[in-house]
A = this chain, B = another copy of it.
C-alpha cells in the first residue's frame, strides 16, 4: 500500500503571510501523495464585519445564516483557497483547489435542528444551525480523490461542502481532514497531520519543550487520569484516536514550521494505535 499524508492547517498559518510562504515551500518538499485541508482564519470575520454581517450566536452556538454562508464561500473557497493554490504552484507543487461540491468529493448532511435546554429561558428551545454540514468518512468519494492523486494533482480543500441538492454548507475543517484520512485508509497507508499553534501535545502547557513524542491509547488514558493534558486538547485527541481505530495509521500534532521533521518521524506528537 502506498502512503498518503493528509495535512490540516488553520488560521495561525493562513493569517501570517510569512508562515504561509514557508508552509508552501515545506509542503511542496514533502514526498509522495498528499492532500491539504485548510481552515479559515480571520479574513472571513473581517469581511463579514466590513459588510455589516454579524454572526448570530444562539446558546453559545454560531449560526451560519444565508449571508454568513456567502461570506465563508467567498473567503474560504475563493480568496484563501486560490491564493494557497497559486502559492503552491509557485513552489512546483501541482495543487488543485477544491470544495466538497467539486467532483462531489464530500457529500455532507445539513445539521438537523436540535432541541436544547436553555438555562437562560428555562425551557427547551429549537436551534437551527443554518447552513452547516456534518459528515463522516462515508461522505468522502475516496475513489474520486484517488483518481485525482493518480493523475498527478495535489488536492487542496477548503471547508465548504454541499448536500448534493445544490446547497453549499459550512463545515469544520478538522472534521474534513479526519474524514478524508479515514476514508483514504482503504486505499493508502494514511497519516493525518494537524498543524496548530503549539509544538505538540505538551506535558506542561507552559513549556513548549515538554512535547510528548508519542502517545498510544494506553498512555493517553493514563495522561487523562493524571489530568496532565490540557482540557482544550481532549476533544482533538479523542477524535484522533477514534480515527486511528477506524484504520488510520497515525496522527501527528505539531507546529507547521517543523513540517519537514515528518521525514525523520520527529514532528510534534505522534498518536498511534499501540
Contacts and interface: CB of A to CB of B under 8 A. Distances in A.
Interface of A: 24, 47, 50-51, 70, 73-79, 81-83, 85-87, 89-90, 94-99, 101-104, 147-148, 151-153, 160, 162, 164-168
20 contacts: A47-B74, A70-B79, A74-B78, A74-B79, A76-B78, A77-B77, A77-B82, A82-B102, A85-B101, A85-B102, A86-B101, A86-B162, A87-B166, A89-B164, A90-B164, A95-B101, A96-B103, A147-B152, A148-B151, A151-B151
B82 A168 contact: yes
Nearest to A91: B166
A99 B24 CA distance: 19
B101 A168 contact: no
Contacts of A97: 98-99, 101-102
Assembly of this chain: how many copies?
2
A99 B81 CA distance: 10
Contacts of A166: 24, 86-87, 89-90
A170 B73 CA distance: 19
A197 to B, nearest CB: 25
Contacts of A87: 166
A50 to B, nearest CB: 6
A162 B212 CA distance: 42
A3 to B, nearest CB: 22
Nearest to A154: B103
A82 B102 CA distance: 8
Contact of A167 (B81, B86, B168): B86
Contacts of A152: 147
A99 B70 contact: no
A89 B70 contact: no
A27 to B, nearest CB: 14
